[in-house]
Amino acid sequence: MRQEGVKMEENFYFKGSTLQVEYSLTIPVDTNIVWDHLTKTEDIAKWFQEIETGELKPDGYMLFRLPDSEITMPILSFIQDSEIAYEWGGIGSVRFKLTPISEGTKLDFYESLPEDFSHRIRDITGWSLALERLKQTILGKQTTFDMDKFQETENRYREMINNLKL
């Protein structure tokens, strides 16, 4: 069964050789609910099982847990109930910015991936689908991983990024 897509704006560009990724979506709930899904381990696990909260504060950290390892991701920016950014993959970064709007919450996601970040296209594909799962989870809908959708999205992003390089 194919999961219905989530309407999400996307923008990709290069700043030097660093790929900049921006996704924006509206989630029709209060900002504090979205914030909890970005910062509380039990809520994060519903849409991105490998990420956990370490120390949630400026100069704190998030954790990325794999079966055989744990990666500490320093928090780069923290504004309670509004913004959190942390290191991603050792050399990149991700940032979530929440804005209350009349329809609920606007979530802006930013990712910065240097040229030597391995598997950039797979990474941005993964985040795109993870943000869809985040919204679906908040809305109480079941989500599943769809490999066909992943591959279609990855191919579309690869073509878009390659066209940016021309």
Query: Could you state, in order of their start, the residue ranges of all structural domains in the chain?
Result: 9-165
The answer to whether domain 9-165 has CATH 3.30.530.20 is yes
Kindly indicate the confidence band of residue 6, based on its pLDDT and cuts at 50, 70 and 90.
confident
Give, for 15, the enclosing helix (H) or strand (E): strand 9-15
Kindly indicate the confidence band of residue 158, based on its pLDDT and cuts at 50, 70 and 90.
very high
Q: What is the DSSP letter of 5?
A: P
Q: What is the share, in percent, of the chain residues with pLDDT greater than 70?
A: 96
pLDDT beyond 70 at 106: yes
Distances (CA, A) of 37 to 13, 33, 98, 118, 145: 28, 7, 12, 27, 19
